[in-house]
Each structure stands twice: as structure tokens, then as C-alpha cells.
Structure 1
């Protein structure tokens, strides 16, 4: 059974192991835990302001993560979205559940726009983000407060309030039909 909960400190090592395993072993990225000090300071880094960090677990095992960094002015940076290879795909629903959790939080916290950066190697992630309503943008179009990682080469944006309004209209139309 899949559960998604806000990050708790006792999960630090499991979260780091999941993320580094994907970055280093699966995609061969030359990145270490030391290159990502935010992973050792998740509460202070992500769970500050209106931000948060969520962990997906199946039978107690950490199988996914997603975070929202509050970068001010109603803007957020989606960061650290990782799903264990054995739990990917629509059949498992981990990525979609993590993203729905983040979207619900963004709406409740009155975020207007989300931004994210990713590596050009995460092709399946690109398709997932695009199917989920994200649009590609140029690096120059990112807000000044957006924290670009050294491995980021592809960037996306998502209009939270616009998508919520469209979703509400479509749900209202389906109820009246």
C-alpha cells in the first residue's frame, strides 16, 4: 500500500540512498551527497516558508520523493522528484500521487507558478512533466530566485492557479452533464 507523508528526520538516510542511487547508478551523473547539502538539511531547506518535502513509501520502504521550495512571491521550485525504478509507471501511480500531493499543497498555500529544472538525461521525466501540464521554458525565463543546479539543462513551468481553475470548470461541467 502506497503512503505519502511529509518528510521526517529518521528517513534522511533512506531518502539520500534513493536519490543518489538514481542519480549515480542509474543515470551516471557525477553528483554526490556533498554536492546536495539540502539532503542533510531537509526540514530547514524545504519545510520552511510554504515549502514541504514528501516521501512515498510502500510497506515502509522509501520509493519516491518530491519537494517544493518556496522561492517567494507565490512561486515554487519543484525539486527532488525521484521514484525507485521498480515503482515507476502508471500501474504503480507513485509519481502521479506525489505530484497530486504537491499540487494540492500548492493550491492550499496559494502558489501561482511552479518551476523545475532537470537534466537532459531524464527523458521519461520530461514526458511525465509534459503530460502533467508543465511547459518547457528557457533558462533565461526562470525567476531570479530559482536555484539552478549544475546538472540542470532543461526547465519547465506550471501555472498552478490556471490549472486549478480549468480543473474546477471541467469537474463542474461533468457534474451537470
Structure 2
């Protein structure tokens, strides 16, 4: 089994993060989006790694193959954003998505985040199953906190209570 390391984002990772996320969005899921339309990807330390937030990468053979962000939205709540795993390391046998999520849950518990929210599109059916299997429940958009950073493409929303400290 190939060793995959989960670690926090460092500024030198910025271009590699974009090179993982954009092809998945554009080529696999046909979402017409650019890096410029996602300004958070250019300022990950300021956008994600502030307050109770954080950003993780999965690294295989020195290359980033997965990403996951946690955006502090105040009131001990956070938004799960930018969860992407390269096709070649997807699936239970690799466990990349599960390990990224474990890092997020551990961090959320350590810093006192009580609720985690996320938005996704109807197209990410496998992601819906993954989130539900990992304790997220679908909620109507009207139940999102006002501070939740909604993306135009998001049409399904989920919430999960973070593990109690």
C-alpha cells in the first residue's frame, strides 16, 4: 500500500492545490469554473487557517492528491470546503477522504467547533453518500447559519455536530 501523508497546508502548496482541484471541477464534473472564480485558493492561510479554521492536504510521493478546508464562520461553527481527492487515490482502499475528514474532526474537537456545515452540488452523488456515512445530515438551505459562505453551484447542504471535546 502506498503511503499517503495528511498534513496542514503550507504556502508553497498553493499551486499544487489548485492543480488538484480545478481538473476535478472542470473535467470530471463539467463545472465551468476558474481559479480566479475561487479567490480563497490564492489566500488559503488568511481564508482558512485563521480563527478555528484549517486546511489539509494529502500527499503521495511528494505530490498533493487531496485537499480539505475548514472555514471558521464564527459562533463555534465552521464550513467544510474544498474537499477534493484525485481519481487515482479515491475509494476505501486508499482511505484518503476518510483520513482528511478524520484530521478535520480531530481539529474541530480540539478547537471547540460545535457544528460543521457544507454545501455541494447535485452532481457529487458519491460525495453525498460519503458525507452521510460520516455523520452528516442533509438540511434545507434556510437552516444554514447566516455566515455560511454559499457558493453559486451549491444545491445540497449538510450539517454535522462536531465530536464533543
- TM range, smaller chain: over 0.9
Match of 1:2 among 1, 4, 11: 4
Match of 1:54 among 50, 53, 56: 56
- The structure in which a higher percent of residues are helix is 1
Question: SS state of the match for residue 121, structure 1?
Answer: coil
CA–CA distance in structure 1, aligned partners of residues 58 and 156 of structure 2: 25
Q: Which residue pairs with 2:66 in the alignment?
A: 64
In the alignment, structure 2 segments of 5+ residues that lack a partner are: none
TM-score (norm: length of structure 1) = 0.90
Q: How many residues of Structure 1 are paired with residues of Structure 2 in the alignment?
A: 163
CA–CA distance in structure 2, aligned partners of residues 120 and 140 of structure 1: 17
Question: SS state of the match for residue 19, structure 1?
Answer: helix
The alpha carbon displacement at 1:50 in A equals 1.1
1:1-177 to 2 correspondence within 5 Å? 1-161=3-163, 164=164
CA–CA distance in structure 1, aligned partners of residues 133 and 73 of structure 2: 25
Larger radius of gyration: 1
In the alignment, structure 1 segments of 5+ residues that lack a partner are: 166-177
